Amino acid sequence: MNRLVSWLEDYILPFANRLAQVRWLVALRDAFISIMPITFAGSIAVLIKSLVEASKTHLDWKIFAFIMQPVVAISNVVWRGTFSLFALFLAFSLGYHLAKSLETNRLAGAIVSLASFTMSVANFTKLRVNGKNFFVHNAFDISQFSTTGIFTAILFGTIGVAIYVACYKARIIIHLSTSLPHAEQSAFDSLAPGIIAIFSVGAINYIFQLATGTYFGNWLLHSIQVPLVKMGQGFGMILLVTLLVQVFWFFGINGLGVLSPILDSIWLTAQNVNVTAARDSRIPPFLWVRGSFDVFAWFGGAGGTLMLIVAILLFSKRSDYRTIAKVALAPGIFNINEPIVLGLPVVLNPVYFIPFVTAPLVNVVFSYLVSMMGLVNPVQVAVPSIMPPIIGPFLACNYDWRAIVLSLIDMLISLAIWTPFVFAADKIADANNSRSFFTTQY
């Protein structure tokens, strides 16, 4: 065990540290975090609509459904202003955080990123009337601004801001009187770099359209985004990401923070597709999405540490461990695991390495198989990460009671994995205390 930990510390830890310091990845992570209100507002709109439809269809509450129609209508308006424009908000947020990390004008970076994205999506839409397809030019298909545009927003937002920052750092700016107000001076400083960046992205798109006859955003969607999202449904890839999150966390690096650009780009994209399908009363196409990790593997935080807390309170005889567990219980219920991970500690503690890595992996395997057999709905609603276990899965799976059963089984599996190591930690601590006592005495 010590050899394994040493190997991980020598080879994996430096890689994780370097990854966590990449400015673009940090900015992308912060961009996804910044638009969480958009994600959750759209998901609440889906939950409201699903609740009203279920009450009418399964419970025959027609009066209730009629009374709730204004609320459903409001939810549809909220949807159109939030989730259906997800990629637009992401492009703006990414530009802001990239400009912030590179120490340039944040608002200008956000605007350049947004403009770069909108130039890169197709300006036509397809309508189907009486069985015939018609193309309407000089019009945007709103779906391009939602899930389908995420990779386009990331790529062209990054390119636009990179060109803007390069010009800004090179001092390609318009110098005016120093007596101008700060806001006006900042705007003029960003004028030339912004124009150069926007025209550069426009030229890239024009050349690509001229050479291929298609829009870059469409090509990116079908050539990169769709294959990557489908690859994310692979069993091996899901296990690999789960393993890396746990290993990074074991060394005190927030694995979810380091890998959130990957998790959000691939599995959050799939989740947004499921949310949109649920909103349109269609069958969600993806089996495993971003929220699946949270509701079926990481209850209590990464590692399923809520069950470690329960195991300590049930079986540990050591008062110090039990005190830490009592303090960590309330945060653990809301999926905040720092008190137990850093307080016990689990970080860099060889005794807990195996269960910390194994429990989430086993939960992922079991939940994936159950979902694949169709015994529980896939996650199709985004719920906050602080939503307690049992409640979170029930809401995330769109009021599926079977998700409650699955989450309870997952928690019992984790408890069974953690318990032997809690006993082992007690014995090791007692042995170390006895050894220290005799060393002191003699």
- What is the rounded distance in angstroms from the CA atom of residue 419 to the CA atom of residue 426? 11
Alpha-carbon distance 243 to 230, whole Å?
20
> What was the pLDDT predicted at 5?
57
Q: Where residue 440 falls among pLDDT bands split at 50, 70, 90? A: very low
Task: Report whether pLDDT(441) > 90.
Answer: no
What backbone torsions phi and psi does residue 132 show, to the nearest 5 degrees? -115, 145
Contacts of 408 (CB under 8 A, 6+ apart): 390
Query: CA-CA distance, 163 to 155, in Å (whole number)?
Result: 13
Residue 6's identity, in one-letter code, is: S
Residue 271 has pLDDT above 80, yes or no: yes
> How many CA within 13 A on the CB side of residue 434?
6
329: pLDDT strictly greater than 80: yes
C-beta separation of 114 from 92 below 8 A? yes
- Structural contact between residues 399 and 54, judged by C-beta atoms closer than 8 angstroms: yes
Q: Is pLDDT above 50 for 194?
A: yes
Residues 3-18 as b/e (b if ≥16 CB within 10 A, e otherwise) read eeeeebeeebbeebee
Distance from C-alpha of 266 to C-alpha of 292, rounded to nearest angstrom? 13
Tokens of residue 63, six digits: 């009066």
Bridge partners of residue 124, in order along the sequence:
137
| Cβ neighbourhood burial of 62 (10 Å; 0-12, 13-18, 19+) | exposed
Asked if 320 and 424 count as a contact pair (C-beta separation under 8 A), the reply is no
Q: Would the pLDDT of 438 be above 60? A: no
Q: Regarding predicted confidence, which is higher, 230 or 260?
A: 230
Q: In the beta sheet, which residues pair with residue 433?
A: none
Query: What tokens were used for 162?
Result: 């990179």
Q: Do residues 310 and 328 lie in contact, with contact meaning Cβ atoms separated by under 8 Å?
A: no
Q: Residue 409: what pLDDT?
A: 94
Q: Distance (Å, rounded) from C-alpha 270 to C-alpha 264?
A: 9
Higher pLDDT, 202 or 427: 202
SS3 125: strand
Q: What residue type is assigned to position 367 of the chain?
A: S
Predicted model pTM: 0.77
On whether the CB atoms of residues 94 and 153 are closer than 8 A, the answer is yes
Q: For residue 10, is pLDDT > 50?
A: yes
Q: pLDDT higher for 179 or 338?
A: 338
286 or 440, which is more confident? 286
Output the 3-class SS for 295-323.
HHCCCCCCCCHHHHHHHHHHHCCCHHHHH
Band of pLDDT at residue 442, cut at 50, 70 and 90: very low
Is-contact 352 414, C-beta < 8 A?
A: no
Q: How confident is the model at residue 377 (pLDDT cuts 50, 70, 90)?
A: very high
Query: What pLDDT was estimated at residue 92?
Result: 94
Q: What is the pLDDT at residue 437?
A: 39
State both tokens at 23: 């400015």
- Write the CB contacts of 98 (distance below 8 Å, at least 6 apart in sequence): 23, 24, 27, 109, 113, 157, 158, 161, 162, 165
Task: Retrieve residue 177's tokens.
Answer: 């009187």
> Which residues does 267 contact at the CB level (< 8 Å), separation at least 6?
232, 288, 289, 290, 292, 293
Distance CA 325, CA 327 (A): 5
CB-CB contact of 293 with 258 (8 Å): no
Can you tell me the distance from the alpha carbon of 354 to that of 308, in angstroms, rounded to the nearest whole number? Answer: 12
- Beta carbons of 173 and 188 less than 8 angstroms apart: yes
Instruction: Tell me what the pLDDT averaged over the chain comes to.
Output: 84
Residue 105 backbone phi and psi in degrees, to 5: -60, 115
Instruction: Name residue 129's beta-bridge partners.
Output: 132
Q: What's the first-to-final CA gap in the chain, in angstroms?
A: 31
